A and B are shown apart, each in its own frame.
Chain A
Amino acid sequence: MSIRGAAFIAGIYEHPGRDLPHHTIWDIHAEVAIGALADAGLSMSDVDALFCDGTAGFGVLTLCDHLGLRPSFVDNTETGGSSYLAHVGHAAAAIAAGKCSVALVTLAGKPRTGSPPVKWAAGPETGFETVWGTASAAHSYALAAQRHMYEFGTTSEQLAEIKVAASIHAQYNPNAFLQNVVTVEDVVNSPMVSDPLHRLDCCVVTDGGGALVIVSPEIAKKLGKTNAKILGHGEAVKHTNNGRIDLTHTGAVWSGPRAFAEAGVSVNDVDYASIYDSFTITVLQTIEDLGFCEKGKGGEFVLDGGLVAPFGKLPFNTDGGGLCNNHPSNRGGITKVIEAVRQLRGEAHPAVQVPDVQVALAHGTGGSLGSRHGSVTLLLGQEDA
């Protein structure tokens, strides 16, 4: 069974806040849920499925209680920042199976103003990975960047082009955390955080959240507006592979083909892509692994405005992405879906709206390229796609 056409994204909402000292994460969950349902033209009483990550409270139990929901289907899939893309695929599958018809996905977090960092239970690898002084995702992603540079000759200047493209887009987003356009020189001259990654190779740290409403075709039709058709979904977990970790590839090498096969489209059909951008290297490896260019040629692909909307080879992250706009709760997955839907609806900022988007891709990478991560690829299209 395929989920192609089995469900539509009918509602989206990105919290406008980036610093929310007076909100609890529960306030944010509620605000984004109400916002996305209003966008869809639905209400809380229509919701019969809830999807959220595993970072807060008792997951769906806490959130159903807080929102007053009595869903017939729940899912707490936790694959880091890619969770919300997995939720979309799982919601579509549940709708196709008749388990629900209006699914709500929410994300909220406050890494700037107060959420305590998520404390995971120790894993079997913990003793072997936590004693070497690494303290942030940047340290781990840097290992991937260094190896990619060694194998393929990728340069810091090429990685910087990715930040530059994101910043060109972010200048049009009044809610973006960073709105100034930066140059390659600005990026490579910013302080080295963890070689070879500079401060400006990293995403922003923001409070906030977002929500999505996924509905059955019957409900989508009644809503009478432009909805994003879910064409395909692929997911994968890439890990240390019994000590043979490969740092130059992402799980997109598996999730991408799964999504493209289900959707029945190819990379040449993709008009716009939201690519997970926790770091510049995340984007570079992902566009290679999804097949937008040959492996190892990502550094060349991003030159000369290759990622800049509306007319680059692959217009990406037109909201400014996690690199400049928003990375709520240190997780960029839901904003990737939201901007892809805006592009399909023609609701992106006019300066970065890609003309006539028929097929949009959204990709999430959650966890770390330097150890283990969840990789999810979604393909979305117009209603007649």
Chain B
Amino acid sequence: MSSLPNPAPTVTSSSQAFWNATAEGRFTLQRCTSCDVVVWFPRKHCPDCWTETLSVFDASGKGTVYSFTIIRKVANDYKGATPFVVAYVELEEGPRVMTNIVDCDPESVTVGMPVEMVFHDTGEGNALYRFRPSAN
């Protein structure tokens, strides 16, 4: 278990399907049916070619740390959880997503470290996708 709070995200009509899937432990990505690019964050059009037909698939949940910071002090929900790690993780499928790195000593996190996705229930019908160190 993570010791971080699990605040519910702002959900819109464009992101509803994405967040619903997280409740089932699935992280879905969209792929443009025209230019084949994997889209992040979810929307109703491809930002690369403006095609409005996107397919949806389940991501592998594997990635590497692209960059990170250790937050030492905050005044928000995370106040009692410092120090904690905020990172961009580069997914196997290409996109770099903002997230937390959990289940490890913040001081042990490095750029390039392999990580895998875990889900933390917000109690509001969805879950936050976070990452923990993985073997490879």
Contact = CB atoms under 8 A, between A and B. Distances in A.
A268 interface: no
Contacts of A130: 9-10
Contact of B68 (A129, A143, A191, A245): A143
B41 A128 contact: yes
Interface string A115-158: 00000001011111111111110010011101100100000000
B42 to A, nearest CB: 8
B11 A127 contact: yes
A94 B7 CA distance: 46
Contacts of B81: 133
Interface in B3-23: 4-5, 7-12, 14-15, 19
A206 B92 CA distance: 43
A194 B72 contact: yes
Given A127-B19, A242-B39, A143 B67 contact: yes
A128 B41 CA distance: 7
A192 to B, nearest CB: 5
A125 B41 contact: yes
Interface in B83-101: 84, 86-88, 94-100
A60 interface: no
A244 interface: yes
A281 to B, nearest CB: 11
Interface in B57-98: 66-78, 81, 84, 86-88, 94-98
Interface residues on A, range: 20 to 34
A143 B72 contact: no
Interface string B99-123: 1100000000001100000000000
Contact of A131 (B7, B39, B40, B87): B7
B98 A129 contact: yes
A247 B111 contact: no
A193 interface: yes
Contact of A132 (B10, B94, B98): B98
B86 A244 contact: no
B10 A126 contact: yes
Contacts of B74: 133-136, 139
B113 to A, nearest CB: 11
Given A133-B78, A144-B67, A242 B37 contact: yes
A124 B41 contact: yes
A192 B72 CA distance: 7
Given A132-B100, A133-B76, A146-B111, A244 B95 contact: yes
Contact of B97 (A191, A196, A243): A243
Contacts of A129: 98
A122 B15 CA distance: 13
B43 interface: yes
A133 B67 contact: no
A150 B72 contact: no
Nearest to B100: A132
Interface in A43-98: none
A314 B87 CA distance: 33
Contacts of B68: 143, 146
Contacts of B96: 240, 243-245
Contacts of B67: 143-144, 146-147, 150, 247
Contacts of A143: 67-69, 86-88
A126 B99 CA distance: 13
Given A124-B12, A193-B72, A244-B94, 20 more contacts: A127-B9, A127-B11, A127-B15, A128-B9, A128-B15, A131-B7, A133-B77, A133-B81, A143-B69, A147-B66, A147-B67, A191-B72, A192-B70, A192-B72, A193-B73, A240-B96, A242-B47, A242-B95, A243-B94, A247-B88
Interface of A: 122, 124-136, 139, 142-144, 146-147, 150, 191-197, 240, 242-245, 247
16 contacts: A127-B19, A128-B41, A131-B8, A133-B5, A133-B74, A135-B76, A139-B74, A143-B69, A146-B67, A146-B111, A194-B70, A240-B40, A242-B47, A242-B48, A244-B96, A247-B88
